[in-house]
Amino acid sequence: MISALTLHSMTAVATSAVRLPTVRHYLMCPPRYFAVDYAINPWMDPSRPVDRDRAMAQWAELRDTYRRFGHTVDEIEPQPDLPDMVFAANSGTVVDGRVLGARFRAPQRAAEAEHFRRWFVEHGYRDVTMPTMVNEAEGDFAWTGRLLLAGTGFRTDPAAHAEAQEVLGVPVVSLQLTDPRYYHLDTALFVLAEETESAAAQVAYYPDAFSPGSRRVLRRLFPDAVLGDAADAECLGLNGVSDGRNVVLPKEATGLAERLADRGFEPVLVDVSELRKAGGGPKCCTMELRK
């Protein structure tokens, strides 16, 4: 007898392509000095205690998950007094080995940018440019393999989009964020698979986080995107990290995980509950170093 579950997974296999992962290189920062002492997004409540050891354990599990899939993870030294430095994605956008650094909106995070700039220079990156406009890097920039999707509304200045296009030499598509809980593009959208010669890019996003015009742009660019709902967004489920096959998500994002599995992806659920108290999930902790 075929159970409903077997039937479900048979359909999934029948309707979706084989998803091949590609090897990735990430930069992460251990949350050794993690804290929520200030509030610069609606997730942060300094009166609510955070468990730093637990944050460290969750972060290590995320790093080890990437390594288990064969990805390389470099680590940058965390700094006391920079409790949000664990969110490495905010400190650089790297495409084709070219680096566009960060300029933070909040003064509390400003010093992070220089630590990362130094890391790039010390690790052989020759082409490192620091932005003149507020630019929170991969927090607001997502590379599809052809286009750089760029968020604005809360953090990254819209003029930083033009600056990114000029510095990185890639076409930039601006998207307007409208919900303060989804203050960075990477809280509302992520790339599941980059565009290749034979296949279009695949993305997942939460439409309600975007302005009506930006929703239309997304529909036009990605007619078969995986759409997240409110429950997916509220656990930062759209802050996923995909290698083209394995998709790392917060463990509460079960609805999204199921929809991804239906498309042939392998959801991998991790616990990021402590890091989420600062408004971050798996992607926020993960900067991608693209050769």
Q: Which residues are catalytic?
A: 184, 284
Binding mask 73-102 for ligand ARG (x = CB under 6 A): -----------x--x-xx------------
**Closest CB 5 distance from ligand ARG, rounded Å:** 35
Window contacting ligand ARG (CB under 6 A); options: 91-99, 242-250, 257-265, 277-285: 277-285
Window contacting ligand ARG (CB under 6 A); options: 50-58, 223-231, 253-261, 274-282: 274-282
**Closest CB 129 distance from ligand ARG, rounded Å:** 20
**184 forms part of the interface with ligand ARG (CB under 6 A):** yes
| Pairing outcome for strands 287-288 and 266-270 | unpaired
Are 78 and 30 within 8 A, CB to CB? yes
Looking at residues 203 to 262 of the shown chain, list those that interact with ligand ARG (rule: CB under 6 A).
none
**Closest CB 39 distance from ligand ARG, rounded Å:** 9
**Closest CB 155 distance from ligand ARG, rounded Å:** 7
Choice from 186, 194, 243, 288 touching ligand ARG (CB under 6 A): 186
Looking at residues 12 to 71 of the shown chain, list those that interact with ligand ARG (rule: CB under 6 A).
40-41, 44
Chain contacts with ligand ARG (rule: CB under 6 A): 40-41, 44, 84, 87, 89-90, 109, 139, 184, 186-187, 278-280, 284
